[in-house]
Amino acid sequence: MIEPGCQAPGFILPDQDGNDVSLGDFAGRRLVIAFYPGDFSAVCSDQLGLYQEVLPEVEEKSAAIVGISVDSSDSHRAFRERLGLTIPLLADFHPKGEVARAYGTYSDEYGKSGRVLFLVDEAGVVRWAHRSPPLEVPGANLIFDAFASLDADS
């Protein structure tokens, strides 16, 4: 897993609608990247549903959230519709897990990413990272504590 202080690896991935989204699209804003194992699992549904609930508060921090998994854009679109999400979901589908590998979150054993959060600052530097145990939803309080820590350092 890449450590805080490192430049966030760049990426260009298709979103749920097939539109390319890059790390550079978020330049000048903070970005929470939520790597998660897969669409439609109970824990991932709870995790992304929780982040959707706090999205307005995240946006008040001049930040955005994206979810990334190895699922396809079509799967992401159906998953978003089922949960009523507006958070962009990016498909690290082909080559499978390439971005997750760059961030150090991909598991060759399971063929998917671990449940890992990164907070990237306005300049594209990772300022905080958190890996959760497989079946544990990383709470929104972790994200807001990371914002507070970053704000205190500014």
Residues belonging to the active site = 44
Please state, in angstroms and as integers, the Cα–Cα distance from residue 61 to each residue in 44, 57, 95, 106, 153, following that order: 24, 7, 33, 29, 15
Cα–Cα distance, 141 to 54 (Å, whole number): 10
Residue 28 CB neighbours (<10 A): 10
SS3 100: helix
